[in-house]
Structure 1
Amino acid sequence: MDELVSQVRAFNRFYTRVIGVVGAGMYDTSYSLTEGRVLYELRQTGEMETGELRRMLDLDAGYLSRMLARFEADGLLTKERSPADARRQVLRLAERGRQVQRELDDASSAAVRDQLVPLSGEDRRRLIAAMTAIQRILGDAPAPRGYVIRPPRAGDLGWVVHRHATLYTEERGWDENFEGLAARIVADYAEDHDPKREAGWIAEVDGEPAGSILCVKRDDRTAQLRLLLVEPSARGMGIGGRLIEECLAFAKRVGYERIVLMTVDELAEARRLYQRAGFTLDEQHPMKAYGRDLVEQYWSRPL
């Protein structure tokens, strides 16, 4: 935990420097980052009581009072007594204030655009996905509401191996032999699959891979479902079932008559997905694999 705390603090210091560079002198104006944020909130809300603004931005009352006095003197805002409570003041941006805020907003967008321009498309995607994940995990962003299912792109198959090895080690305590199995399956698919009769899919959430599945040839009449995975952060969204549906639809469309899969008994959630998709258990037997005593299961269904 101490190491994690240090890493988070190091990131906070780094990103504070990034924000400082982007907003230095608030884009060559006389306004600070905090002043720009106050103008932004007033423009977004239309009007706000002084106390509400102070609590929202966690500002010292004296500091905010001096800032608002300067804004009023510069013609950026107006203040009037609240009709509900004469002890409170209601703030509204004047037209000059709205103009200044628009200029700051445009300058902010330009500064961020300058940071993004040197990045590759892949780095931009990873950056936004990481920022979205931080917001969601720390509670400032809603949980993802949707996902896409797409064919694998460059690098995705390596991700499939990596995430299988990582998750099965963390969640199940399986050893490196399982990573070897996942790597062999992926290598065989990448090197020698028939695109007319074999395919793979990646589930993507907020621009990041969140699930996988392969449909490969067992024989001319039989397909095999392999490497179904859903990231913990994306579970409960229906991704696993949707990946299975995609696999089944493809297998039927290209002419297979039956589809099979192999799993183990301790993967209860995956087993429930297979049952809901119409698979039935054909056989099972004990085995020792991946450093564990497991029960290997073979399931199948007609197409």
Structure 2
Amino acid sequence: MTVQDIRAFNRFYTNVIGALDYGRHLYAPYTLTESRVLYELAHSARTDAADLRTRLSLDAGYLSRILNRFERDGLVERGPSEKDPRRRRVTLTARGRDAAGLLDERARETVGRLLASVPPEDRPRLAEAMRTVREVLTARRRPRPEDVVLRDTAPGDLGWIVQRNAAVYAAEFGWNPDYEGLVARIVADFAEDHDPHLERVWIAELDGRPVGCVMCVRDEAPATARLRLLLVEPEARGLGIGDRLVRAVVDFAREAGYRDLVLWTNSVLAAARTVYLRHGFSLVAERPHRSFGQDLVGQDWRLDLRATPGRRRAGAEGTYDE
């Protein structure tokens, strides 16, 4: 392969995408770079301007002008960073989330038209070729925390959550298919009936593939949300993904107006306890039980969302329960 081969492919693919956007409305009324900034903000619960600049390789002055425009248009809010008061935290407003959602919907429609032109029997080959390109070009570089994107679910993601929970827990703890059945019921209930203003699923994505997930749903108790199905793939651990997923749930639940956030897990999941404690959860009950083919100790944890958020630290992560 030569440099010319890569440049020729770039020209070809750019022309394909450009032809699909025949009305030139894909990013309107924003530029491509502005749309990328909106995308990053929509898929990160809390982002500093410095992180955005690094992630998107943007000039500081250029990014500042974009954020100034977004702030004037009511798309973003800026304030002191939780990590460093000298830095500026950037978050989307409700109007900003709507704008990012519209751009994402247009992108999905555009790529959907492209995929519709590919015969079904050729789609697995196309997907494998795209995975190969990503793997070859990233094989020599260790993944970084900033390479991970948190996003909403896409078609197929809910099935992935069921499959990976079952496979990972079977491999690491010997849990039997009863756990897969439990996860399938949780996911099916969400898919069939959920309020997007009060319930949400996040997918952690690395190099175009899902590597983690978490869910926030309404609990039976009044004004209470429940964190469920937190999982990080073994090969993606050490990047702070579990911490980011839990933080996303806590922030979402607090902004949605819940008073408490609860979860159920098992004592064998030691790494999970570290994350929950770091975010202010307290262990409120423990009970031994026989489930998933194993003797376990179930744990109930609770977080008072009305309390002032504490300082957070990065830490280890592993397999998590629902």
| TM-score strictly above 0.5 | yes
Residue identity opposite 2:143 in structure 1? P
Report how many residues are paired.
Answer: 200
Residue 49 (structure 1) aligns with: none
Q: Distance in 2 between matches of 1:252 and 1:300?
A: 13
Q: Distance in 2 between matches of 1:289 and 1:298?
A: 16
DSSP-derived class of the 2:143 partner? coil
Residue identity opposite 1:141 in structure 2? R
Residue 184 (structure 1) aligns with: 185
Q: Distance in 2 between matches of 1:196 and 1:212?
A: 19
DSSP-derived class of the 2:191 partner? helix
Query: Does the 8 A contact of 1:132 with 1:141 survive in 2?
Result: no
Residue 240 (structure 1) aligns with: 242
Residue 11 (structure 1) aligns with: none
Query: Does the 8 A contact of 1:222 with 1:260 survive in 2?
Result: yes
Query: Does the 8 A contact of 1:284 with 1:296 survive in 2?
Result: yes
Q: Deviations over 1:196-248 (max 9, x none)?
A: 11111000000001110000001331100000001111110011000001101
TM-aligned CA distance change 1:134 to 1:232, over 3 Å: farther
DSSP-derived class of the 1:196 partner? coil
Q: Distance in 1 between matches of 2:281 and 2:240?
A: 18
Q: Distance in 1 between matches of 2:141 and 2:6?
A: 24
Q: Deviations over 1:4-35 (max 9, x none)?
A: xxxxxxxxxxxxxxxxxxxxxxxxxxxxxxxx
Q: Distance in 2 between matches of 1:108 and 1:209?
A: 26
Matches within 5 A, 1:83-98: none
Q: Distance in 2 between matches of 1:105 and 1:248?
A: 43
What is the Cα deviation at residue 130 of structure 1?
A: 4.6
Residue identity opposite 1:298 in structure 2? D
Residue identity opposite 1:144 in structure 2? P
Structure with higher helix content: 1
Residue 199 (structure 2) aligns with: 198
Q: Distance in 2 between matches of 1:227 and 1:118?
A: 34
What is the Cα deviation at residue 194 of structure 1?
A: 1.1
Matches within 5 A, 1:106-117: none
> What is the root-mean-square deviation in Å for CA atoms of aligned residues?
2.9
- Asked which structure has the greater CA Rg, the reply is 1
Residue identity opposite 1:281 in structure 2? L
Residue 280 (structure 1) aligns with: 282
Q: Distance in 1 between matches of 2:6 and 2:176?
A: 52
Task: Normalising by structure 2, report the TM-score.
Answer: 0.56
Q: Deviations over 1:245-287 (max 9, x none)?
A: 1101110111100000000000111111111111110000110
DSSP-derived class of the 1:178 partner? helix
What is the Cα deviation at residue 142 of structure 1?
A: 0.8
Aligned-residue identity in percent = 43
TM-aligned CA distance change 1:130 to 1:184, over 3 Å: farther
Residue identity opposite 1:290 in structure 2? F
Q: Report 1 or 2 for greater relative contact order, CA contacts < 8 Å, sequence distance ≥ 6.
A: 2
Query: Does the 8 A contact of 1:225 with 1:260 survive in 2?
Result: yes
DSSP-derived class of the 2:274 partner? helix
Q: Distance in 2 between matches of 1:105 and 1:194?
A: 45
Residue 167 (structure 2) aligns with: 166
DSSP-derived class of the 1:144 partner? coil
Q: Deviations over 1:124-157 (max 9, x none)?
A: 5664335434676xxx421222110011111101
Q: Distance in 2 between matches of 1:233 and 1:221?
A: 36
Residue identity opposite 1:143 in structure 2? R
TM-aligned CA distance change 1:216 to 1:106, over 3 Å: closer
Task: Normalising by structure 1, report the TM-score.
Answer: 0.60
Residue 290 (structure 1) aligns with: 292
Structure 2 stretches of 5 or more lacking a match? 17-114, 306-322
Residue identity opposite 1:142 in structure 2? R
What is the Cα deviation at residue 119 of structure 1?
A: 7.5
Q: Do structure 1's residue 141 and structure 2's residue 157 form an aligned pair?
A: no
Out of 233, 238, 249, the residue aligned to residue 231 of structure 1 is 233
DSSP-derived class of the 2:238 partner? coil
Q: Distance in 2 between matches of 1:127 and 1:193?
A: 36
DSSP-derived class of the 1:193 partner? coil
Q: Distance in 2 between matches of 1:105 and 1:186?
A: 41
Q: Distance in 1 between matches of 2:250 and 2:166?
A: 25
Moved over 2 A (4+): 104-114, 116-136
Residue 97 (structure 1) aligns with: none
TM-aligned CA distance change 1:155 to 1:295, over 3 Å: same
